[in-house]
């Protein structure tokens, strides 16, 4: 399992055929040490195939964030297929409203990036919608993606892209995996453009890396979540001490957990006033 890299972009698909063209384009390699889900990696992208349905999507996000999250505000993108009453097959949409048909909850992704395509609303249901009697796009994962991703990043960096795969004239039972891969592959340039804009936005949102961060990460072992804690503690230290160098007592620091405990104690003892 490769945790040496900082994965800044997380892509989630429900189906292997949705992931296939993205794996090829971004030159991702499968992490064979991860068993519950198919995970593909390069230097800064982590793509997870979760399986269909809301529960699978939520589990896939939580699992890979626990393993690979290493930045405070990761880019998180759901790419997949959706049905619609009369939209043409192959049309790409950036989702501006997600309706959970089961719970009735609505979500509104923040579209602060320049959309690479048209926008539309989407309805998520636990079972396939085969009647095509709704004005929205339909899928089985987006609401769970958005709700779960919101626990790990900010709304501006959480987006859904959907390609129309079926409609009244060409219903869902006719969908073939090769067709799905071809539909996604046709929009790889738009997907890449959106990811680039989201990455640029993430740099504006994320504070600069604090001093000593790289040094401490090289000196001690930190898990992915511990690196995030370390960065937050060092940022607090810099603000409260006007960037004074912390006087580490290295004799008592053997692991990353020891460093975090020491820093937390030091920060808690600092007197400050507003």
pLDDT digits (tens, 9 = 90+) for 49-78: 999 999 999 999 999 999 998 788 899 999
Top-confidence residue, 19 or 172: 19
Query: Is 181 within 8 Å of 163 (Cβ atoms)?
Result: no
Cβ contacts of residue 92 below 8 Å, gap of 6+? 116, 117, 118, 161, 162, 163, 164, 187, 190
pLDDT in the model for residue 3: 55
User: Going from the N-terminus, what domains does the chain have, and what CATH number goes with each?
Assistant: 9-205 (3.40.50.1580), 213-268 (no CATH)
Mean pLDDT within 20-40: 96
- DSSP character for 262? H
The torsion angle over the Cα atoms of residues 229, 30, 91 and 123, rounded to 10 degrees, is: -50
228 phi, psi to nearest 5 deg: -65, -45
Q: Give me the sign of the Cα torsion angle 253, 257, 263, 264.
A: negative
* pLDDT higher than threshold 80 for residue 255: yes
pLDDT digits (tens, 9 = 90+) for 184-242: 999 999 999 999 999 999 988 877 777 788 888 888 988 877 888 888 888 888 888 87
Mean pLDDT within 172-183: 94
* pLDDT higher than threshold 70 for residue 181: yes
Helix H or strand E encompassing 120: strand 118-124
Gyration radius from the chain CA atoms: 21
Top-confidence residue, 245 or 96: 96
Q: Which range among 3-17, 100-114, 176-190, 218-232 shows the weakest confidence by mean pLDDT?
A: 218-232
Cβ contacts of residue 236 below 8 Å, gap of 6+? 267
40 has which bridge partners?
A: 30, 47
Mean pLDDT within 98-109: 95
* pLDDT higher than threshold 90 for residue 45: yes
* pLDDT higher than threshold 80 for residue 243: no
Q: Which range among 25-39, 90-104, 237-251 shows the weakest confidence by mean pLDDT?
A: 237-251
Q: Report the predicted TM-score, pTM, of the whole model to 2 decimal places.
A: 0.79
CA gap 185, 24 in Å, rounded: 10
pLDDT digits (tens, 9 = 90+) for 114-166: 899 999 999 999 998 888 989 999 999 999 999 999 999 999 999 999 999 99
Helix H or strand E encompassing 99: strand 92-100
* pLDDT higher than threshold 70 for residue 4: no
Q: How confident is the model at residue 272 (pLDDT cuts 50, 70, 90)?
A: low
CA gap 274, 202 in Å, rounded: 29
Top-confidence residue, 48 or 259: 48
Q: Give me the sign of the Cα torsion angle 27, 20, 110, 119.
A: positive
* pLDDT higher than threshold 60 for residue 2: no
pLDDT in the model for residue 130: 85
The torsion angle over the Cα atoms of residues 26, 81, 117 and 146, rounded to 10 degrees, is: -90
pLDDT in the model for residue 217: 87
pLDDT in the model for residue 244: 84
């Amino acid at each position: 399992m490769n945790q040496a890299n900082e994965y800044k972009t997380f892509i989630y698909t429900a189906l292997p055929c949705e992931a296939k063209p993205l794996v090829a384009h971004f030159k991702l390699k499968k992490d064979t040490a991860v068993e519950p889900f198919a995970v593909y990696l390069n230097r800064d992208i982590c793509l997870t195939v979760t399986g269909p349905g809301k529960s699978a999507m939520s589990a896939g996000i939580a699992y890979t964030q626990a393993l690979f999250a290493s930045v405070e505000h990761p880019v998180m993108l759901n790419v997949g297929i959706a049905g619609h009453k009369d939209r043409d097959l192959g049309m790409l949409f950036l989702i501006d409203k997600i309706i959970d048909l089961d719970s009735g909850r609505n979500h509104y992704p923040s579209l602060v990036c320049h959309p690479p395509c048209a926008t539309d609303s989407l309805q998520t249901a636990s079972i396939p919608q085969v009647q095509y009697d709704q004005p929205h796009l339909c899928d089985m994962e987006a609401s769970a993606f958005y709700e779960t991703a919101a626990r790990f990043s900010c709304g501006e960096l959480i987006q859904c892209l959907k390609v129309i795969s079926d409609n009244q004239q060409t219903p869902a039972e006719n969908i073939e995996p090769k067709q799905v891969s071809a539909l996604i592959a046709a929009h790889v340039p738009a997907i890449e453009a959106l990811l680039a804009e989201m990455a640029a936005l993430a740099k504006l949102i994320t504070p600069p890396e604090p001093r000593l961060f790289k040094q401490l990460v090289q000196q001690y072992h930190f898990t992915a979540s511990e690196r995030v804690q370390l960065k937050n503690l060092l940022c607090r230290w810099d603000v409260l001490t006007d960037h004074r160098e912390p006087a580490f007592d290295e004799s008592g620091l053997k692991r990353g957990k020891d460093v975090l405990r020491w820093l937390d104690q030091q920060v808690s003892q600092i007197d400050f006033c507003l």
